[in-house]
Chains A and B, each alone.
Chain A
């Protein structure tokens, strides 16, 4: 979607409308992408006594994925250091409500990609919430990030028809803070583990 199309959607109410708040600077809206800012809540991966993150809930010593992450908060303008090899979950500063016929791609802006931080996420039509971002420093130097900095760019693509996102049954609905992986809630896992045990 182009800037003009996006601005038109921002003015529209209802399911066809786009909502981005806080949009601190209208200059964030570019010709084909919109810059989004780094949020203030982080989940930082930590080393634990467990040798790995497991998904088999029936395993003795299974620990929820949440226990491998530590929450921390910052205020606008404060800094956060992202270390090489560290997984940090965060969100965009902006809460976004996508139209039901538009999906979003969230990418790191090139200035951050060049430092070794790459994010590439697809967000479904109709989504409501701050976009989840999984930060990983692929470089060999720690990078000091600033909360509120324009780190990401959102590219919107119009679909031929509506695809309602759904309600609370969807994962990550109405997010305002980073959410740990729910890979261990995958309903296929118990079946797959049963198959694995029988081999």
Chain B
């Protein structure tokens, strides 16, 4: 509505953020660069075109939301920690993950920092821009302490990799949509491919947890214009995990190869958590693959406990108590792994 006023207001709020004692230092560079860009646009003479100001205001608004989310210090660091390893396998650029807790039900993961826009559009801005990129993650607030429920973020990361690497577009060139499909359904077919790719991507890291997660949300969800039916998605994931080869997988692998990206393959190792979790202790995870493997292990353990064949402690516990305890143990297992890594990395500093 009022792009210049919005920029003024965002500048004020970003200044406050930059001075909060709880701010993450890794994000300070982005905050300061945003302030500099906003200041430049507001004071430039002659003024930038209104359309440019409006687009910048939109981008700064979005970035501000996630930067602010990081300062509230409620982020689920454990899931961020796991995702960082997956991100580093697919993106060569340095990325900083920022999380906002949302009141919506859905997860999201997207790139949204304004630096490409600033670089290409603000032709009179000459200062250096941050080299790292911001990745925005949205987690439903209700799930902030339920990391196992957050494995859907791996699916969202799959969409992100697809978008950045143009995987689906490439797959459509390799294997176009059947000519017999009416034109009006082409968009839907393309969306289905994107969903299938994101599902397979997630399965590479969290295995059956992504299928279990889909099943838990709504196993009977039918086909829509954007999503294939849930049962079809689950079948596809299970086929992949069973090591089957099928045409859709082959053209994704081909597309990934042509785009210079890694292949779809299982990148997790399922830790044997039963002995520890039965004794209400976190499991000591070994290596990155076990970090991802915590999700399928946790989902299996959860299902067993909820269905009455769990450890002694779960007998008589309510469903929500079981969900909370298993998620807490999974969270602490992941957090302990990150603490040990941080400690070891800085040992000689």
Contacts and interface: CB of A to CB of B under 8 A. Distances in A.
B281 A74 contact: no
B225 interface: no
B313 interface: yes
A128 B279 contact: yes
A54 interface: no
B293 interface: no
Contact of B332 (A24, A95, A168): A95
Contacts of A21: 281-282, 284, 336
A95 B336 contact: yes
Interface in A1-50: 19, 21-22, 24, 40
A36 to B, nearest CB: 13
B67 to A, nearest CB: 16
Interface stretch (B48-56, B73-81, B123-131, B248-256): B73-81
Contacts of B282: 21, 95, 176
A76 interface: yes
A159 B73 CA distance: 41
A19 B277 CA distance: 13
A151 interface: no
A139 interface: no
A93 interface: yes
A77 interface: yes
A174 B280 contact: yes
A167 interface: yes
A73 interface: yes
Interface string B25-57: 000000000000000000000000000000000
Contacts of A97: 279-281
A73 B325 contact: no
A73 B73 contact: yes
B343 A24 contact: yes
B73 A22 contact: no
A168 B316 contact: yes
B164 interface: no
B340 A24 contact: yes
B281 A73 contact: no
A176 B328 contact: yes
B313 A167 contact: yes
Contact of B74 (A24, A72, A167, A176): A72
Interface residues of A, number: 28
Contacts of A85: none
B183 to A, nearest CB: 51
B342 A77 contact: yes
Interface in A149-181: 167-169, 173-177
A21 B334 CA distance: 12
B145 interface: yes
A72 B101 CA distance: 13
B187 to A, nearest CB: 41
Interface string B115-142: 0000000000000000000000000000
Contact of B281 (A19, A75, A93): A19
Nearest to B338: A76
A14 to B, nearest CB: 9
Contacts of B340: 22, 24
A71 B22 CA distance: 13
B339 interface: yes
Nearest to B327: A176
B221 interface: no
A177 B336 CA distance: 13
Interface in B315-348: 315-317, 321, 325, 328-329, 331-332, 335-336, 339-340, 342-343, 346
A159 B187 CA distance: 70
Contact of A22 (B325, B336, B346): B336
A81 interface: yes
A125 B339 CA distance: 26
28 contacts: A21-B282, A21-B284, A21-B336, A22-B339, A24-B340, A71-B74, A72-B22, A72-B72, A72-B73, A74-B73, A76-B343, A77-B342, A81-B21, A93-B339, A95-B281, A128-B280, A128-B281, A148-B339, A167-B313, A167-B317, A168-B317, A169-B316, A174-B280, A174-B329, A176-B331, A176-B332, A176-B335, A177-B328
Interface of B: 21-22, 72-75, 77, 145, 279-282, 284, 312-313, 315-317, 321, 325, 328-329, 331-332, 335-336, 339-340, 342-343, 346
Interface of A: 19, 21-22, 24, 40, 71-77, 81, 93, 95, 97, 128-130, 148, 167-169, 173-177
Given A72-B74, A174-B280, 17 more contacts: A22-B336, A24-B339, A72-B72, A72-B73, A73-B73, A75-B77, A93-B339, A95-B282, A97-B279, A129-B280, A130-B332, A167-B312, A168-B316, A173-B325, A175-B328, A176-B329, A176-B331
